């Protein structure tokens, strides 16, 4: 019986005629995509970003414009510390002494004393006759009636120090000299320790050419600056074209 059923002919229903259309024959009409007008931004002629009218479809049929970002790099710029030396300010010799200059900008006053007058060669202990130069500065400090701070800076020329000395380089020598002057002001001018600082700047800030004896002598100096606690400089600094790039 099973064999008879298997051998029974299968009847198929008649199918309706179908037409197949190949995709190459289909013309799809272009539909305007909602978006925004293309915009670009350029630096030195190079596009750094652009906004195009193409859009991404969102659920619900909405669309949103997309943005294309291009890689852009620029050269680095470095601006060094700007310092104003006494020559650019109103500078004059203090009355009664020959080796100290006074310069001022508003309430800030700086007194610059030749290092050779204060110290012997490669020494950081004050000479006995150096007190006459420092006393004039001390008198100016005593006349102030505001709350102020004092900075003492030591400077040297660029001649290497003797390796047999008690200091390793010009930075340390200048710091020891600045500390000696600061301590003298504390001991002899009634300056409180918490308002005075001492710093050694070595040969980093010359104010003259180190290639001459006269220049090196000018570079060996101690600068005492007195200014109000909340002092802000009113000087405008301008870098010449090309400075600070690197």
Cβ burial, residue 170 (10 Å; 0-12/13-18/19+): buried
Whether residue 200 contacts residue 175, with contact meaning beta carbons closer than 8 Å, is answered with yes
Report the pLDDT value the prediction gives residue 89, as an integer from 0 to 100. 42
Per-residue pLDDT of the chain (246 residues; tens, 9 = 90+): 555 555 566 665 665 665 655 555 555 555 554 544 555 666 666 665 555 555 555 555 555 555 555 555 555 555 454 454 444 444 444 454 578 888 886 688 899 999 999 999 999 999 988 998 899 899 989 988 889 999 999 999 999 998 888 899 999 999 999 999 999 999 999 999 999 999 999 999 999 999 999 999 999 999 999 999 887 765 554 444 444 444
Is the backbone of residue 61 left (phi > 0), alpha (psi -120 to 50) or beta? left
Domains and CATH numbers, the chain: 30-69 (no CATH), 86-228 (3.30.1330.60)
Report the pLDDT value the prediction gives residue 82, as an integer from 0 to 100. 45
pTM: 0.59
Report the pLDDT value the prediction gives residue 84, as an integer from 0 to 100. 46
Report the pLDDT value the prediction gives residue 100, as an integer from 0 to 100. 87
CB atoms within 10 A of CB 195: 14
């Amino acid at each position: 019986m099973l064999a008879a059923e298997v051998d029974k002919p299968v009847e198929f229903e008649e199918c309706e005629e179908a037409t197949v259309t190949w995709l190459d024959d289909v013309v799809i009409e272009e539909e305007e995509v909602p978006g925004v007008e293309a915009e670009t931004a350029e630096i030195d002629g190079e596009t750094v970003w652009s906004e195009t009218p193409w859009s991404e479809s969102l659920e619900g049929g909405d669309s949103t414009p997309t943005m294309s970002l291009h890689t852009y790099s620029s050269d680095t710029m470095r601006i060094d510390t700007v310092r104003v030396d006494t020559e650019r300010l109103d500078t004059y010799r203090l009355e009664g002494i020959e080796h100290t200059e006074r310069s001022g900008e508003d309430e800030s006053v700086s007194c610059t004393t030749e290092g050779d007058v204060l110290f012997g060669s490669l020494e950081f202990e004050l000479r006995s006759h150096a007190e006459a130069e420092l006393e004039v500065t001390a008198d100016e400090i005593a006349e102030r009636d505001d709350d102020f701070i004092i900075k003492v800076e030591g400077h040297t020329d660029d001649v290497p120090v003797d390796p047999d000395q008690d200091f390793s380089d010009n930075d340390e020598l200048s710091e020891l000299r600045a500390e000696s002057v600061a301590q003298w002001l504390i001991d002899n001018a009634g300056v409180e320790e918490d308002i005075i600082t001492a710093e050694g700047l070595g040969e980093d800030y010359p104010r003259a050419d180190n290639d001459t004896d006269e220049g090196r002598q000018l570079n060996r100096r101690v600068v005492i600056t007195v200014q109000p606690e909340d002092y802000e400089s009113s000087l405008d600094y301008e870098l010449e074209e090309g400075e600070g790039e690197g």
